[in-house]
Amino acid sequence: MAERILVVDDDEDIRELFSNYLSGFGYPVVGVADGRAMREQLSLQSFELVLLDQRLPGEDGLTLARELRAVSDIGIIIITGFGQAVDRIVGLELGADDYVSKPVDLRELLARIRSVLRRRTGNAPEPKAGQHFEFEGWQLDLAARSLTNPQGQLLMLTSGEFDLLAALVRQPGKVLSRDDLMNELHHRDAGPFDRAIDVQVGRLRKKIEIDPARPILIKSVRGAGYLFSAKVRPS
């Protein structure tokens, strides 16, 4: 069954545009105008991904993204106004998987949706070598897309956080630039004012570092990018 998509946008023309376009690629789409209607639809049926307009009246898209992420691992893509870098950063901090800027290029939107859905459902291409890695007592299973902490507990990661960690763990001791990581996660280069990777690194550090303010696993290399410093071994 094709993955279902929920579009939350107060502009009826936008809802219709997205619905008609995505339906043409086999995605069942439901469009609603606000958070109340979003909750109603989510109570009636399951969806794999939500497209959230950031500038909704009443409860905005960022508020709804926070609410969704607190209770679900559903895919979330924020639709932001052109140049609203702060909104994109906040959206990622709240757990959104990706963002698309207005005016929306429908082909780009489709590519972002497919990327998030592949990561979320575990249908991304498998690495050529190695499915399990261990570092500092942590267990990373790429096939199952799971991370287990040293106490044996499964840790919940968003799809973007998991892919970021996987990219770092597969290349320990190597400095990866923001462009390297942006291409790995979002298939685009980082713009000069794009802090998406920094935000996702910050979120990941909060989950795996003993002291996120003084990271020992994911280290910043000034002017160059990030380095995974732990000793990694296949398991």
pLDDT tens digits for 20-39? 999 999 999 999 999 999 99
The Cα–Cα gap between 71 and 38 comes to 14
pLDDT tens digits for 154-182? 998 877 888 899 999 999 999 999 888 88
Domain boundaries, the chain: 5-121, 132-234
Query: Where are the strands (E) in the chain, listed by range?
Result: 5-8, 29-32, 49-53, 75-80, 98-101, 132-135, 138-141, 146-148, 154-155, 175-176, 218-221, 225-228, 233-234
Question: Looking at the predicted structure, is the pLDDT value of residue 125 above 50?
Answer: no
The Cα–Cα gap between 208 and 200 comes to 12
The Cα–Cα gap between 37 and 190 comes to 35
- pLDDT interval class at 127 (50, 70, 90): very low
pLDDT tens digits for 49-70? 999 998 898 888 989 998 998 8
**Residue range 132-234 in CATH 3.30.930.10:** no
Tokens linked to 22: 């995505």
| Burial of 197 per CB tally in 10 Å (0-12, 13-18, 19+) | buried
Q: What is the pTM of this model?
A: 0.61
What mean pLDDT, rounded, does the chain reach? 86
The CATH superfamily label for domain 5-121 reads Response regulator (3.40.50.2300)
